[in-house]
Structure 1
Amino acid sequence: MAESYDIIVIGAGPGGYVTAIRAAQLGFKTAVVDREHLGGICLNWGCIPTKALLRSAEIYHYMQHPGDYGLKLEGKVSVDAAAVVKRSRGVSKQLAGGVGFLLKKNKVDVIWGEASIPKAGQVEVKETKRAEAPKGARGAGTYSAKHIVVATGARPRVLPGIEPDKKLIWTYYEAMVPEAMPKSLLVMGSGAIGIEFASFYRTMGAEVTVVELLPQILPVEDAEIAAHARKRFEKQGMKIITGAKVTKVAKGADSVTATIEADGKTQEITADRLISAVGVVCNTEHLGLEKLGVKIERGVVVTDGLGRTNVPGIYAIGDVAGPPMLAHKAEHEGVICVETIKGLHTHPMDKAMIPGCTYCQPQIASVGLTEAKAKEQGREVKIGRFPFTGNGKAIALGEPEGLVKTIFDAKTGQLIGAHMVGAEVTELIQGYVVAMNLETTEEELIHAVFPHPTLSEMMHESVMDAYGRAIHI
């Protein structure tokens, strides 16, 4: 007889394991199924290990410029690629163990294997050879559940003719664990993943070229912020080609040559390695969703905003349920989903209030509408800006380049967008996120007291600038 649960979550990434823990907190008998690693791509091959790599690059950058801070460094600074990778992998391993502890603490059963849904209310798990099962995990078998939550995430998109081979053409998997630092690199795609790797390898000394199909790098960001970031990247020696397409890739013994079309012209660029960062594809296959009649559009499982699909008892959250494909969005979607199942008062997440962060150098962070989107909606806006050069803390840190931009609805004073580029802005953006969620007006933000000296003062000044009240510019 199949072991029975109230809720089974398929996928133990940030969306899946958070969903499972919250379900257990609500009193549901809960299990989570995974085939490879607790914490999912984010913790093992995405968000966390890339931040560890970028931290190593940041420290290396500072070590190369000790004189900027009145210091002297004896001897030559060099990169130990193996040690950098080892540290990054160690961070992931530690946190994956932490996820296992949290699941055990909350009495969530872990089932190890490949999951499918042969019919509503039933999960079939087959043995996996991808990774060793965590201690105490259940194995292959048939399990039943009143509610099944699909949280299977996404994988790198593969373009025909430019298929990753793990040697010369990389996805983020290979880019995270280089055996040696390439001397030159071509990056296809300038979204968060592409730009973060471009920034990491450029700081580590590689000659980097970024090719972007659209006319703007970081396409989802505000145009003014993206333009500022581009100038900074190019100042660092990064080459950027926008409005361009890689039409062909030829492999050599230890290099690749890409044919690039832009402005009606073609050119060839040869590099040691190519990173394909052209988006992701949702993991909807092999689950049996189509056979069950679950509605899927453009590769994304369709839900009602509360995690429910069109088939009773089957839910979807996270990347597999559509953009924005961010770990924090997946976590909150999972919580909303199981709280809805519990019968608590819930409402769909407002995706306009989900922040996005890119951890390159300089950092980029945003929430809400860009200036262009606000104007497309026919809104009359008030826009404030404040440069890092006007902030004492930024100058003291040796980080005087950057910009904070705020966008308000001119009629109501509602904060509808905030965009930043510069040092530590990924930590600052949450202040604006909270303000937007509380429906804070410009008047309340102007009257709020910001501590001195901090980078956060620029947030205050940007708000005041939108209303002609900025003090330090």
Structure 2
Amino acid sequence: MSAKSFDLIVIGAGPGGYVAAIRGAQLGLNVAVVEREHVGGICLNWGCIPTKALLRSSEVFHLMHRAKEFGLKAEGVDFDFEAVVTRSRDVAKQLAGGVGHLLKKNKVTVIMGEATLPAKGKVAVKTEKGSEELTAKSIVVATGARARELPGLEADGDLVWTYKHALQPPRMPKKLLVIGSGAIGIEFASFYNTLGADTTVVEVMDRVLPVEDAEISAFAKKQFTKQGMKIMEKAMVKQLDRGKGKVTAHVETGGKVEKLEFDSVISAVGIVGNVEGLGLEELGVKIDRSHVITDEFCRTGVDGLFAIGDIAGAPWLAHKASHEGVMVAELIAGKNKVHPIKPESIAGCTYCHPQVASVGFTEAKAKEKGYEIKVGRFPFIGNGKAIALGEPEGMIKTVFDAKTGELLGAHMVGAEVTELIQGYVVGRQLETTEEDLMETVFPHPTLSEMMHESVLDAYGKALHF
């Protein structure tokens, strides 16, 4: 066994790990990254990216059916399901290859294998060729998370799927049940429903997209229902009876159990951190409900050992992991000004149809925290660009501190809101007040003008509604 020495070893090459490795290398550190499966992690290979590729296909398909509205002719519109899935896999492959190239360009040593932490400052890697031991002053654990499996609802890849199966499905579902209406569940529901699957979504909480502002959830639900989705809230799938080519789901709502039949089920009931088998607890790392406890700088309390991304807890978002990766690399390289993440300043985006995006506190959360608030709203129907695009369904909502004018939260539903949200994210980062936003000139005609109008509305100054 040969001992190889590095300044920094990163375990996991997802959006947290590979970014930490690249930033470390840029700052002059000798870096190795250990990855057991896919460079690029779940996000690039089985998450954010391939799902967006699928959703783009369904969006184009949806628009083709609306051709007449735009004065166009498209007859006999259909899809090739296999080709849709192949495109999604090709997009993922292209980007994963790009990450491999970036690591190489930055002279990061990539070791494919399974890592364990036998002692402080040591990483043992089991590769196809055997095992090797590496040493480093600093180690970053970025092993991510996997789908949570509930007893009795476990995936089998045929009738019951996780997100991985749903990305490479054995068939196009006719009758689909989606368990869980967070971002993952609702994106798959949106994709399959648009392509013609008879889709039912079961959510245990009192509303779909439960982390979003209640008004946005209600608006989105109305749109989903209009598109033919069945939404069951305050409902629970108690058991799944699997038969030949069908599943009978026992769904409990309000104390009553209903038996419903489907040919495919997607389970999207949350995630579990990949904390097992690394030797973390033996080193003295504290783990709570499958997540590593860290301070704001991602330090685990064990000297030289950091944890970033999904394994370090909510919000479970790729961009949060990447930011932590940069922060930790800079900390290790001895940079003075390092900015820890503020969870309430991280935007969440859901790419269903219509899109949903938000940052900061919901109206309810702001009130709960004791703020006196001013709330503004603006509908897509009042925006020239939205009407020209044929996308008049949507709204933008802003929440301000009535005393200071601080933007506490922004919530959107409608076309392209996943791109628009960043305007408010920058505003919050720069500690913008309502006055700054009101005095900003927004270009016309754009969807972004609604962001201006929503702010104006909070203060009784909206012009176009």
Normalising by structure 2, report the TM-score: 0.98
- Aligned residue number for residue 106 of structure 2: 106
Matched, 1:460 2:452: yes
Matched, 1:363 2:364: no
Query: In 2, Cα distance between the equivalents of 1:347 and 1:107?
Result: 26
- Shift of the alpha carbon at 1:16? 0.4
State the secondary structure of the residue aligned to 1:118.
Answer: coil
- What code does the residue aligned with 1:189 have? G
- Aligned residue number for residue 135 of structure 1: none
Work out which of the residue numbers 382, 385, 390 in structure 2 matches 1:390. 382
Query: In 2, Cα distance between the equivalents of 1:241 and 1:182?
Result: 19
Work out which of the residue numbers 240, 250, 258 in structure 2 matches 1:259. 250
- Aligned residue number for residue 376 of structure 1: 368
- Aligned residue number for residue 276 of structure 1: 267
Work out which of the residue numbers 224, 227, 233 in structure 1 matches 2:215. 224
- Shift of the alpha carbon at 1:177? 1.0
State the secondary structure of the residue aligned to 2:117.
Answer: strand
Greater Cα shift, 455-464 or 332-341: 332-341
Query: In 1, Cα distance between the equivalents of 2:189 and 2:339?
Result: 38
State the secondary structure of the residue aligned to 1:125.
Answer: strand
Work out which of the residue numbers 302, 318, 324 in structure 1 matches 2:309. 318
Query: In 2, Cα distance between the equivalents of 1:178 and 1:72?
Result: 31
Query: In 1, Cα distance between the equivalents of 2:153 and 2:396?
Result: 38
Matched, 1:95 2:95: yes
Work out which of the residue numbers 129, 142, 163 in structure 1 matches 2:154. 163
Q: Is the 8 A contact 2:158 2:170 kept in 1?
A: no
- What code does the residue aligned with 1:465 have? D
State the secondary structure of the residue aligned to 2:16.
Answer: helix
- Shift of the alpha carbon at 1:305? 1.1
State the secondary structure of the residue aligned to 1:385.
Answer: strand
Matched, 1:404 2:396: yes
Runs of 4+ off more than 2 Å: none
Work out which of the residue numbers 445, 458, 471 in structure 1 matches 2:463. 471
Matched, 1:142 2:143: no
State the secondary structure of the residue aligned to 2:118.
Answer: strand
State how 1:113-152 maps to structure 2 within 5 Å. Answer: 113-127=113-127, 140-152=131-143
State how 1:300-319 maps to structure 2 within 5 Å. Answer: 300-319=291-310
Query: In 2, Cα distance between the equivalents of 1:99 and 1:11?
Result: 13
Greater Cα shift, 352-361 or 289-298: 289-298
- Shift of the alpha carbon at 1:179? 3.3
- Shift of the alpha carbon at 1:32? 0.5
- Aligned residue number for residue 26 of structure 1: 27
- What code does the residue aligned with 2:288 have? E
- Aligned residue number for residue 416 of structure 2: 424
Work out which of the residue numbers 425, 430, 433 in structure 1 matches 2:425. 433
Structure 1 unmatched runs, 5+: 129-137
Q: Is the 8 A contact 1:81 1:178 kept in 2?
A: no
Q: Give per-residue Cα distances to partners, 1:144-177, cap 9 Å, x unaligned.
A: 1111100000000000011100100000000011
Query: In 2, Cα distance between the equivalents of 1:180 and 1:59?
Result: 21
- Aligned residue number for residue 443 of structure 1: 435
- Shift of the alpha carbon at 1:139? 7.5
Structure 2 unmatched runs, 5+: none
Normalising by structure 1, report the TM-score: 0.97
State the secondary structure of the residue aligned to 2:150.
Answer: coil
- What code does the residue aligned with 1:183 have? K
Query: In 1, Cα distance between the equivalents of 2:171 and 2:112?
Result: 34
State the secondary structure of the residue aligned to 1:100.
Answer: helix
- Shift of the alpha carbon at 1:88? 0.3
Matched, 1:285 2:276: yes
State the secondary structure of the residue aligned to 1:14.
Answer: coil
Query: In 2, Cα distance between the equivalents of 1:354 and 1:73?
Result: 41
- Aligned residue number for residue 78 of structure 2: 78
- Shift of the alpha carbon at 1:299? 1.4
Q: Is the 8 A contact 1:112 1:140 kept in 2?
A: no
Query: In 2, Cα distance between the equivalents of 1:405 and 1:451?
Result: 19
Q: Give per-residue Cα distances to partners, 1:356-386, cap 9 Å, x unaligned.
A: 0000000000000000000001110000000
Query: In 2, Cα distance between the equivalents of 1:291 and 1:140?
Result: 21
Q: Is the 8 A contact 1:81 1:179 kept in 2?
A: no
State the secondary structure of the residue aligned to 2:218.
Answer: helix
The count of corresponding residues between Structure 1 and Structure 2 is 463
State the secondary structure of the residue aligned to 1:119.
Answer: coil
Q: Give per-residue Cα distances to partners, 1:111-154, cap 9 Å, x unaligned.
A: 110000000111100025xxxxxxxxx98411111111000000
- Aligned residue number for residue 62 of structure 1: 63
Query: In 2, Cα distance between the equivalents of 1:256 and 1:385?
Result: 43
Query: In 2, Cα distance between the equivalents of 1:145 and 1:343?
Result: 16
Work out which of the residue numbers 141, 153, 167 in structure 1 matches 2:144. 153
Matched, 1:199 2:167: no
Greater Cα shift, 286-295 or 226-235: 286-295
State how 1:320-339 maps to structure 2 within 5 Å. Answer: 320-339=311-330
Q: Give per-residue Cα distances to partners, 1:227-267, cap 9 Å, x unaligned.
A: 00000000000000000110010001111110011111110
Q: Give per-residue Cα distances to partners, 1:46-87, cap 9 Å, x unaligned.
A: 00000000000001101112111111113x111211100100
- What code does the residue aligned with 2:378 have? F
Q: Is the 8 A contact 2:148 2:272 kept in 1?
A: yes
Query: In 1, Cα distance between the equivalents of 2:412 and 2:108?
Result: 39
- What code does the residue aligned with 2:33 have? V
Give the superposed CA RMSD: 0.9
